[in-house]
Structure 1
């Protein structure tokens, strides 16, 4: 049963849905409105015990970005990146999204976890365990003062970039076929950010960094290397997926990768069209486990941030995934590792017990 497995997820964009629907929080979170991928009822139905809740600052509409979805249906493609978002625009949005997560905590259904012990205690108490994550460091300035502010608010995981550039570094464009070596690495401010994240025990997420940025983090960081929602480049040669060299570096650091459920990251042809069978997902998961080992792979759904296979559909469809993995030969011991035990152990290695 999925509830025996317990799914702790490496990435979702649910807070963006709340940001875009002011006044509807109760309906969206507590009772569910049937839209998107995630809400409390569907998490419970799917056996989800928690996950990383991302603060992502949306880009203003730009003409070059309007046809992204259409382009992704016709590989090869090389999509332009949005313009940087200034600090003054990013900080109010981040504050609003964190406010939504804190409201969710006040309902008594969820706890924002700041330590591994609190994570385990929250799950044992039957509440959703949430980790506050920044997908892109736009709400932080060069002096890093805001990093300490957000840390005090509960921030425990941070990706220096989404894909557009920040003052800290450069992300990968959505490009197929392509490897992640797409530009310069971390700036000097970015290197200081990584060191301060290490000091504060904030997990650093590599998912959207380009190849040189990945290498810069690996050279600086004293923590395990983690990609919360990325897949295997050897299966799908998309710029956002991880090469064998990167996977080996993650393995050697005793880090972890969360499997992204996004169709575009799973399909070998790089298209966004919805997957209707389990084969692409199984190929990626088998590959990641073969490269990283059973103790360094989990799930990083990207719910509410991408389109996912029809067999999953939304959070309530996770039992279908578990059944498919059992049918593929995965044991319950392995499924528990993938479901939550690997994430919990990784966070203990990163944050301390």
Structure 2
């Protein structure tokens, strides 16, 4: 089985919602969602980025929003900014939940490339503590504190404004050029993340914010869970120009499995087969090369394709790639090796 390292999941939300039963949901599964230990093992998942994310009062998974996104064109307004004092307790709770999973002995919160490789070799899941939207980080002192707690990947925004920048709305068809760039605090955040070697994630940023990070950052540029705008013109997807900027930095894009970011019609309906995923992968490979393309599922945060309903179905994607003509070496790069190589460049060995 070819191993998979995943660029993004929202599983911690389910752990927190389950309260004291959270670790059991990880260990045994509960028949819901996309991710748990048994399905990870069945699918060959060896690790990934586990997101800390603060939910908005209204979002793309609300019933009204789902109906809207099933019938393009649509342009959902950005949710309101979430104040730091409201965000911080949620973020602490999620970080604690991830550490609770670590105490089961089946998962390690990894903070170095060497540690990641060691965890995988010893048969545990390698979890990277990622923060999707920096509302819980008040200032640079707080960033250092989060780094000490294990944070190694940060997206300055989700699809809403923060003190650091502006996210893209959920809109189709739409350009990602939807607003202003990073604030002064956002530019300081980029510089400090570079100093601490925290990976910066460009997914959910608008185009102006993307360009600001590209100018400021000395690390490879990364979009952990995004697709090709040329195939699906969602505001959340990356234009060819953006892909070339990432390629020039030696960076990487993880392909998002969310049906609405893959489908050419932009509808929030399950993808009927995986062929369009191969068209996205081909497009990304044409611009980024074999070392710049990976996977970023968005498990437990998006509507999955029918043939990729949860982590146990990952072999379906791997087999589709092989059937399409991707050789074993390229498939292994996309499935896991490119992520590990990118983290070695960003974090150091």
Does the alignment reach a TM-score above 0.5?
yes
Structure 1 residue 81 corresponds to structure 2 residue 78: yes
Structure 1 residue 12 corresponds to structure 2 residue 9: yes
Structure 1 residue 226 corresponds to structure 2 residue 222: yes
Q: In the TM superposition, what is the alpha-carbon distance from 1:276 to its structure 2 partner?
A: 1.3
Residue in structure 1 matching 2:29, options 28, 32, 41: 32
SS at match of 2:130: strand
In structure 2, distance between residues paired with 1:312 and 1:285: 16
In structure 2, distance between residues paired with 1:66 and 1:88: 28
Q: In the TM superposition, what is the alpha-carbon distance from 1:63 to its structure 2 partner?
A: 12
In structure 2, distance between residues paired with 1:315 and 1:304: 10
Residue in structure 1 matching 2:280, options 284, 301, 323: 284
Q: In the TM superposition, what is the alpha-carbon distance from 1:275 to its structure 2 partner?
A: 0.9
Contact kept, 8 Å, 1:54 with 1:132, in 2: the verdict is yes
SS at match of 1:126: coil
Alignment match, 2:102: 105
In structure 2, distance between residues paired with 1:310 and 1:63: 19
Deviation by residue 1:141-173 (Cα, 9 ceiling, x = unmatched): 1x3221111111100000000010000000000
In structure 2, distance between residues paired with 1:336 and 1:318: 13
In structure 2, distance between residues paired with 1:118 and 1:37: 26
In structure 2, distance between residues paired with 1:214 and 1:107: 38
Alignment match, 1:327: 323
Structure 1 residue 203 corresponds to structure 2 residue 204: no
Deviation by residue 1:238-297 (Cα, 9 ceiling, x = unmatched): 000000000000000000000000001100000011011122111101111111101110
Contact kept, 8 Å, 2:81 with 2:162, in 1: the verdict is yes
Two-structure CA RMSD over aligned residues (Å): 1.3
Indicate the larger mover: 274-283 or 163-172: 274-283
Distance 1:197 1:275, change over 3 A: same
Contact kept, 8 Å, 1:65 with 1:79, in 2: the verdict is no
Residue in structure 2 matching 1:175, options 171, 181, 193: 171
In structure 2, distance between residues paired with 1:65 and 1:77: 15
Structure 1 residue 309 corresponds to structure 2 residue 305: yes
Structure 1 residue 189 corresponds to structure 2 residue 191: no
Contact kept, 8 Å, 1:65 with 1:82, in 2: the verdict is no
Structure 1 residue 124 corresponds to structure 2 residue 121: yes
Alignment match, 1:53: 50
Structure 1 residue 262 corresponds to structure 2 residue 262: no
SS at match of 2:307: coil
In structure 2, distance between residues paired with 1:238 and 1:210: 12
Structure 2: unaligned runs, 5 residues or longer: none
Structure 1: unaligned runs, 5 residues or longer: none
Q: In the TM superposition, what is the alpha-carbon distance from 1:56 to its structure 2 partner?
A: 0.4
Structure 1 residue 236 corresponds to structure 2 residue 244: no
Q: In the TM superposition, what is the alpha-carbon distance from 1:65 to its structure 2 partner?
A: 6.2
Contact kept, 8 Å, 2:257 with 2:296, in 1: the verdict is yes
SS at match of 1:67: helix
In structure 2, distance between residues paired with 1:112 and 1:52: 10
Indicate the larger mover: 49-58 or 19-28: 19-28
Count of aligned positions: 349
Q: In the TM superposition, what is the alpha-carbon distance from 1:345 to its structure 2 partner?
A: 0.6
Alignment match, 1:90: 87
